[in-house]
Structure formats: C-alpha cells, structure tokens
C-alpha cells in the first residue's frame, strides 16, 4: 500500500472518531454551561442573602434605639409631671420633643430597611425558582451526556483498535507530518487533489483550493512519496479513478505519438 493510502486509512478512522465524538463533545459543553449558570445563580443568592442579613441587623438596631427612646420619653414624662418650675417643665418638654423627632427618623429608616428586605426576599424566591428550573435542565443534560457516552462506547473502542492498526502501518516521517497537523488542530489533515483541467494539468488542493504546482501533482500520481499542499499543508491524495484516468490518458497520448 502506498504511503498516502496508509495515511488516508488513518485519516478516515480519525474522521470517524471525531464525528462520533462530536455529539458527545456537544453534550459535554452543554452540561458545563448548565453548571456555569447554576453557579452564577448560587453567587447571586449568596449576595442577596448577605444583603438581607445586613439590613435585618440594621433594622433590629433601629428597633432597639426606638425602644430606648420610648423608655427615656416615659421617664421624662414622669419627671415633667413632678416639675417644680415652668422653666424645668419646658426644658424637659423640649428634650421629649427632640427625642420624639429623632425616634421618628429612626422609625422611617427601619421601615425603609424592612421594605428593602421584602424586596430582596422576593428576588431570593425568584432566584430559587430559577435554580430549580436550571437544575432540571442540568439533570436532562447529564442524562443526555451519559447516554451519548454509553451509545458510542463500543464503536469508539472498535475505532480505536482500527486506529492502532492503521497507525502501525504509517512510516515515521509521514506520521510526524500527520501528527504535526493534528496537534495544530487542523481539521483537513488530508485533502483530495481536485481536477480543474486535465489537458492543462491544472489541479487544486481540495482543502484550500490553491492551484497545485505540477511537481506536487506528480508526487501524488507516483504514490511513492507523500506531499503536502504548499499553502495549507494538507497531505494530498488522489482518488483512484482520477489517477487511473490520468494515467490512461498518458498511455493513449504516448500510443498516438
């Protein structure tokens, strides 16, 4: 078997492996995105709960402040009732009024805090509902991922066996070129030579459509060596029918000459 044929056999197996894995990879990505969204919801919940706690603590402090003010007002009222002079009476009254005004401010602030806490609680409820919904979606995504993994398990093992066998046949230098392209993440590691004009010997790289120099086409035709597209570096191969047609044409040409 020619070196390009050996490479092509490996490439076909790799394409099948990639095709087989693509649905699993998509399922993996989808599952990861659900996990990410869940963790974002958790983060928001944590922030909201901390905000609510802080506001509740502030409201509790205000409540205590109000109680203290009430006690002080009650105490002042008693003293006012026992006041000896009108001057003393009016001084206590002024203090009571000041305390009442302060207490009013604290009360307003406490009410505002509690209103905000209610708003936050609503948001928490919303986020909890989102979390429950997202958890359901994640559950489905997980089942799907596992199903896809199970689905391809046997076929994948089979293909990996085929890959090992194909790999063993490929000569070292060709394999190095192949692996180099694979490591670069290039999808078209191999490309078919495409015919543009047989008479003029014009051929394209099937991956990047660059016109191939005649020397490259000749290497592919001879099949002893392998060659790469000068532009995209894809390892070139030629369909058997095309090669036969070109070679027959050559024979005819030499007969008629």
Instruction: Compute the distance between CA of residue 109 and CA of residue 59 in angstroms, rounded to an integer.
Output: 8
- In whole angstroms, the minimum distance from the beta carbon of 181 to Zn ion comes to 11
Contact partners, residue 25, CB within 8 Å, separation at least 6: none
Task: Please report, as residue ranges, which positions from 58 to 77 form the binding site for Zn ion (by CB under 5 A).
Answer: none
The Cβ of residue 214 has, within 10 Å, a number of other Cβ atoms equal to 10
Q: Rounded distance, CA 4 to CA 189, Å?
A: 12
Min CB(161)–Zn ion separation in Å: 31
How far apart are CB 233 and Zn ion at their closest, in Å? 7
What span, in angstroms and rounded, lies between the C-alpha atoms of 113 and 119? Answer: 10
CB 19 within 8 A of CB 98: no
Binding mask 147-186 for Zn ion (x = CB under 5 A): ----------------------------------------
Determine, following the binding rule CB under 5 A, whether residue 137 of this chain makes contact with Zn ion. Answer: no
Instruction: Give the one residue of 207, 212, 220, 235 binding Zn ion; rule: CB under 5 A.
Output: 207
231 counts as binding Zn ion under rule CB under 5 A: yes
With binding defined as CB under 5 A, does residue 205 bind Zn ion? Answer: yes
Taking the CB of residue 66, how many other CB atoms lie within 10 A of it?
Answer: 17
Give me the least distance between CB of 257 and Zn ion, in Å please. 33
Q: In the complex, what is the shortest distance from the CB of residue 201 to Zn ion, in angstroms, rounded to a whole number?
A: 17
Residue 123 or 204 with smaller CB distance to Zn ion: 204
CA distance 153 to 140: 20
CA-CA-CA-CA torsion sign (108, 109, 113, 116): positive
Name the site residues for Zn ion (rule: CB under 5 A). Answer: 205, 207-208, 210, 229, 231-232, 234
């Amino acid at each position: 078997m020619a070196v390009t044929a050996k490479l092509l056999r490996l490439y076909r197996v790799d394409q099948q492996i990639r095709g087989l894995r693509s649905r699993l990879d998509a399922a993996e990505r989808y599952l990861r995105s659900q996990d990410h969204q869940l963790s974002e919801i958790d983060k928001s919940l944590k922030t909201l709960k901390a905000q609510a706690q802080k506001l509740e603590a502030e409201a509790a402090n205000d409540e205590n402040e109000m109680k203290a003010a009430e006690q002080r007002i009650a105490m002042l009222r008693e003293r006012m009732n026992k006041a000896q002079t009108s001057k003393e009476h009016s001084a206590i009254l002024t203090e009571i009024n000041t305390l009442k005004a302060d207490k009013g401010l604290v009360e307003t602030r406490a009410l505002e805090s509690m209103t905000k806490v209610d708003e936050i609680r609503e948001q928490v409820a919303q986020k909890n509902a989102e979390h429950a919904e997202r958890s359901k979606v994640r559950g489905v995504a997980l089942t799907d991922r596992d199903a896809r993994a199970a689905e391809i398990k046997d076929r994948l093992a089979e293909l990996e066996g085929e890959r090992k066998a194909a790999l063993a046949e490929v000569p070292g230098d060709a394999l190095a070129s192949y692996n180099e392209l694979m490591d670069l993440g290039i999808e078209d590691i191999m490309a078919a030579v495409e015919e543009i004009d047989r008479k003029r010997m014009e051929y394209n790289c099937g991956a990047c459509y660059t016109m191939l120099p005649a020397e490259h086409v000749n290497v592919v035709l001879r099949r002893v060596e392998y060659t790469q597209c000068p532009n995209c570096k894809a390892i070139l191969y030629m369909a058997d029918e095309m090669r036969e047609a070109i070679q027959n044409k050559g024979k005819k040409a030499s007969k008629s000459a």
